[in-house]
Amino acid sequence: MHPDIFLLSLLLAFLPAVLSGKPARPVGDGHEVGVHASDRPRTYIVHVQKPEHLMSAIPEVIEQWHKSFLPSPTLHSGEPRMVASYKVVMSGFAALLTAEEARDMESKEGFLHARPSQRLMPQTTHSPEFLGLRPDVWRDANRGEGAIIAVIDTGIDPDHDSFAGNPMPDRPAEWEGSCYFNNQPTCNDKLIGAAEFLESDHRVYPPYDEDGHGTHVAATIAGLEVDGASIRDLAAGTAAGAAPGAYLAVYKGDSEWGVLWSIEQAIDDGAHIISMSLGWDALVGPDQPPFYANAMAIGSLAAVRHGILVSCAACNEGPRPSSVCNDAPWIMTVGASTMDRALRLNLRLRNGYEIPGESLYSKPGLRGRLAYPGLSGDGNARFCTHLGAYNVRGKVVMCYPGRIETKQIADVVKKAGGVAVVLLSSKMVGSIIVDVPDTAFPTVSVNYPNSLKLIKYVNQSTTRCRAPRVELVPVGTVMGVTPAPAVPYFSSRGPSLVNGGILKPDIIGPGVNVLAAKTNSTSDFVLMSGTSMATPHLSGIAAIIKLHQLRQTGMEWTPAMIRSAIMTTAQTTNSDGDGITDETGKTADLFATGAGHVNPAGAMDPGLVYDIRFEDYVEYLCGLGYTDKQILRTASISVDCDQFGSIEPEQVNYPSIAVTLSDDVRRKVIKRTVTNVRSEPTSYTVEVFLPTHSGVTVSVFPRTLNFDTTGETKSFDVTFSALSCTPGEPGDTVQGYLKWVSAAQSREVTSPLLVTFA
């Protein structure tokens, strides 16, 4: 008999005794009348330490051991308690428990921690051209063909033209998954995998997308080229994902336990890249959980350990500082930027002056008196939630969004007799229009400076007893809008509160008014904005780089190498040649841009890369001061940090370099190691760029790096020194760049430099 089967039989024989160690009490299933909310079972994520004799056990044995922690196999309703038994992403399981039952497990041998699973929230025709993907990068990288990209989101609409592949009788050689839309090894030669695991009946189902977010994301990553794509005849062109030749595998997961299940499936199924445009409120702000209590971080580290790059949204909580999420150093954290396209509609005032806005409305000749009920100071009128007390019949009504959806605002104005809506922007939103309203009723968005102009126009016209007339003048799709790229207000900012000072986000990419597939339609497209839209661009680009390097050099690049190539070749200036700006119109700092805006062509051939091993991440966790049990929860590995070793966060071999100086610590030496990925001998010389009178000096040794062979590594030291006893006020920063320059090859390998004073 196989030893695992014997172990399973033995465990099953003793399982009733194990479970009866404490009497099981009937527990309601959450739907019973009279059950207090705190007593209702909910899904908990439970971390456990695997005993030595189970280290190599088969999954069935591990699952039975996990079940031994439960008070009973089922709820009072008969529903099984076990939701998911994890084998790869973490050591533990998800189960339906009450708070008291979770506490009762603490006395069981092997128990580490239990916490409720949190709900996760989801956070184009032109973007391939704007990024320089079409045609050169696609041609050189074969459009990402052969790459398998796992998308963990709200599901997918498999019937959209963006995913209309041909039947595929044979699965790709590396693919071990299945398509639950047709119960075949693949859905077609575009969508090769699709699954959703439901806790209600513990079965896998087709991941249909009722929300639309996942369909949009999947199409942005690897949607096929679809001619004639547009929205209301605007933004017309050929729609395509960043890697239109890549395969897609879609997993539906909107909870922490579901994300862990999806990551485990993606690893087992053979994915090359994982893309997650997800987050939840607790991931940002002062209550942000440490990595050992963060399912996104835990699952991502397991994927990276298996050689899979994980690309995640930085969240949409900007522009406030320290709002960035998904900020573990093993994750590629993606912020959002604008493109150079506008769907222009101008508002022509009485004097002929035109104020630009953006809209999908395209019929000329609409005129009316401009009205702003919010001048009265009435909050309901300001947000147009109720307009019963105001005469807006025949008028173009100005409203602030925020309290109700844009379509609801349009309905309120329409019912009150208005003829159009002008959506105003707050100071926080700033100069970038991030919401082009998709409503049947004429609606136009204007930015903050122009909102002030319109309010002033209405106010002055009323004072002078002159009607503030306005005409809607559709212009259509405008290309070459400047400055671009720019960082929109919603894109979350660093610094991270939990990663020890490593600069996040890593990179920014197109995430404003991105056109991609619309759910519940075979051919329609929709505009969406968010770091959720930026992330799939980077996921597709990462897949292209991975497969390109494998084909060109035979090298299997690690996730850190791919991210390094993207970061060190990033663009730090806009279309005007100036620094990338933010929603205020001022130069954006590194906490907004990270390394800069993605440059796919440069990332295909970075010259040098910064690599990081899984063991380095474990040493980093030791450097954060995590206990051995906390590291076990994070990395599913038992270590003694005293013996394993530790490194400070700033010493992680990251492509960006961030340090903290203070009155007590005025000098730091940081070590970095680069790997040559070019085939010919190359010499690099260092250049450092810092603001004048920054109060900090940066020196590098050696100043020249010479490489003869591919894969050769060289190390260098970067010394940061404060020039005075009090180099800066606490929280002040100095920001610059370090570049390794190869004049012979016209190549620059750039790292952001960040000095924070404590």
The string of DSSP codes covering 379-401 is HHHHTTS--TTS--TTEEEEE--
CA distance 272 to 530: 24
Q: Which DSSP helix (H) or strand (E) runs through 642?
A: helix 641-644
Residue 7, pLDDT score: 38
To the nearest 10 degrees (0 to 180), the angle between helices 59-67 and 3-19 is 10
CB-CB contact of 273 with 309 (8 Å): yes
Q: Which DSSP helix (H) or strand (E) runs through 278?
A: strand 278-279
Q: Which DSSP helix (H) or strand (E) runs through 375?
A: none
The tens digit of pLDDT for each residue in 645-672 reads 999 999 999 999 999 999 889 999 999 9
CA distance 467 to 551: 67
Give the burial string for 530-543 (b: 16+ CB within 10 Å, else e). bbbbbbbbbbbbbb
Three-state DSSP at 657 gives: strand
The tens digit of pLDDT for each residue in 554-595 reads 889 999 999 999 999 999 999 999 999 999 999 999 999 999
Domain regions of the chain by residue span = 3-116, 121-337+486-538, 341-479, 652-757
Domain 121-337+486-538 has CATH 3.40.50.200: yes
CA distance 731 to 717: 25
Residue 725, pLDDT score: 67
- Among residues 569, 517, 475, 607, the alpha carbon closest in space to that of 217 is found at 517
Joined together, the tokens standing for residue 490 give 């919603």
In the CATH scheme, what is the code of domain 652-757? 2.60.40.2310
Residue 565, pLDDT score: 99
Chain centroid to CA 67: 34
Residue type, 572: T
CB atoms within 10 A of CB 679: 10
CB-CB contact of 531 with 491 (8 Å): yes
Domain 341-479, CATH among 3.40.50.2000, 3.50.30.30, 3.90.1300.10, 3.40.50.300? 3.50.30.30
Residue 125, pLDDT score: 53
Residue 200, pLDDT score: 72
String of DSSP letters for 405-423:
-HHHHHHHHHHTT-SEEEE
In this structure, is the dihedral angle defined by the CA atoms of residues 207, 209, 210 and 213, taken in order, positive or negative?
Answer: positive
Residues taking part in catalysis: 153, 213, 532
The strand pairing partners of 126, in sequence order, are none
| CA–CA–CA angle 254, 98, 70 (5° rounding) | 95
CA distance 512 to 336: 7
Phi, psi values for residue 159, rounded to 5°: -90, -5
Joined together, the tokens standing for residue 300 give 């991502």
Q: Which residues of the chain have pLDDT under 70?
A: 1-38, 123-125, 168-169, 281-282, 463-464, 725-727
- Among residues 620, 607, 696, 678, the alpha carbon closest in space to that of 653 is found at 620
